[in-house]
């Protein structure tokens, strides 16, 4: 089994639990093969693939609507709290797809690039499973509420530009989760949902690492292409219509994820 080809196959899986399970299994298999003299799994960095017509594979629900049409819900009612956690669950499902897409789509990168994004895919799959299980305990399931497609939309826009992908998906859209998670945890704690707070602790810990991976490869690509990473960022953001960064920022988490002092100063400006 070849890792990048298998990542594309898992990306095409529509059933959410099957996709999450297969993403985690692929990560486990790759890790086991790393120390095997005769591994049953290989990694071809140079392989080129023809994608199927429709990506990613996803279930018929949730209904996808423009971001401004997703209703805001209070976490202080059972229904509102379920809707809030469903939104996070949807983000994690999309994050599985984004990591898998980076693995198969972009050829001729170092082996570490593919192993990094395989780790991200496996961890995002775990996040999705934790949240979905919690939702089911609340009498709901993934797909019960409307959602938007902002994350995958940016992946589509940057499908031919790996440097823009690294700039605008992990270190922009996903990094917003670093800022949003602590206030969300405070509300959920006040609402008495301590299990959700615990799950978000796991997600925040892992997402710092995921954003750090995005930062690493963005800078690596900028160096390869002779670009200044700080000066180039607003160019990418404007070219692909990235959302404007808004505070307040979780500065400790962003520093831990590799944002330097100049970048943080520009965010705050």
d(CA 84, CA 185): 11
Give the Cα separation of 45 and 229 in Å (integer). Answer: 25
Alpha carbon distance 143, 15 (integer Å): 11
pLDDT at residue 251 in the model: 95
For the domain made up of 3-45+58-268, give the CATH fold: Ferritin (1.20.1260)
Specify the pLDDT at position 36.
64
The sign of the CA dihedral 264, 265, 268, 269 is: negative
Q: What is the reported pTM?
A: 0.96
What per-residue confidence (pLDDT) applies to 87?
95
- Domain layout of the chain by residue ranges: 3-45+58-268
CA pair distance 120, 175, nearest whole angstrom: 14
Residue 62: cis peptide before it, omega within 30 degrees of 0: yes
Q: What is the pLDDT of residue 152?
A: 94
Q: What confidence score (pLDDT) does residue 38 get?
A: 53
- Tens digit of each residue's pLDDT, the chain (269 residues): 899 999 999 999 999 999 999 999 999 999 888 766 556 789 999 999 988 888 999 999 999 998 888 878 889 999 999 999 999 999 999 999 999 999 999 999 999 999 999 999 999 999 999 999 999 999 999 999 999 998 999 999 999 999 999 999 999 999 999 999 999 999 999 999 999 999 999 999 999 999 999 999 999 999 999 999 999 999 999 999 999 888 899 999 999 999 999 898 888 87
pLDDT on residue 246: 87
Q: From the CB of residue 231, how many other CB atoms can be counted at a distance below 10 Å?
A: 9
Beta bridge partners of 66: none
Backbone angles phi, psi at 256, to 5 degrees: -65, -30
Can you tell me the distance from the alpha carbon of 42 to that of 206, in angstroms, rounded to the nearest whole number? 26
């Amino acid at each position: 089994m070849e890792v990048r080809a298998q990542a594309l196959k898992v990306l095409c899986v529509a059933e959410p639990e099957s996709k999450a399970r297969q993403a985690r299994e692929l990560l486990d298999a790759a890790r086991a093969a790393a120390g095997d003299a005769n591994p049953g799994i290989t990694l071809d960095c140079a392989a080129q693939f023809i994608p199927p017509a429709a990506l990613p594979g996803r279930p018929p629900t949730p209904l996808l609507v423009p971001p401004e049409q997703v209703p805001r819900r209070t976490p202080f009612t059972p229904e509102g709290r379920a809707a809030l956690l469903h939104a996070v669950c949807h983000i994690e499902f999309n994050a599985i797809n984004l990591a898998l897409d980076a693995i198969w789509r972009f050829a001729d990168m170092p082996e570490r690039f593919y192993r990094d994004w395989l780790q991200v895919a496996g961890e995002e799959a775990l996040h999705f499973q934790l949240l979905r299980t919690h939702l089911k305990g609340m009498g709901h399931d993934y797909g019960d509420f409307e959602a938007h497609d902002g994350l995958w939309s940016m992946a589509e826009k940057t499908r031919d530009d790996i440097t823009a992908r690294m700039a605008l998906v992990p270190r922009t859209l996903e990094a917003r989760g670093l800022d949003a998670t602590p206030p969300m945890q405070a509300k959920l704690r006040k609402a008495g949902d301590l299990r959700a707070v615990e799950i978000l602790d796991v997600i925040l810990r892992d997402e710092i690492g995921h954003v750090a991976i995005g930062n690493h490869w963005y800078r690596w690509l900028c160096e390869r292409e002779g670009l200044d990473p700080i000066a180039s960022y607003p160019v990418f953001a404007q070219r692909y219509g990235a959302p404007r960064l808004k505070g307040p920022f979780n500065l400790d988490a962003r520093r831990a994820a590799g944002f330097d002092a100049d970048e943080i100063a520009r965010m705050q400006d």
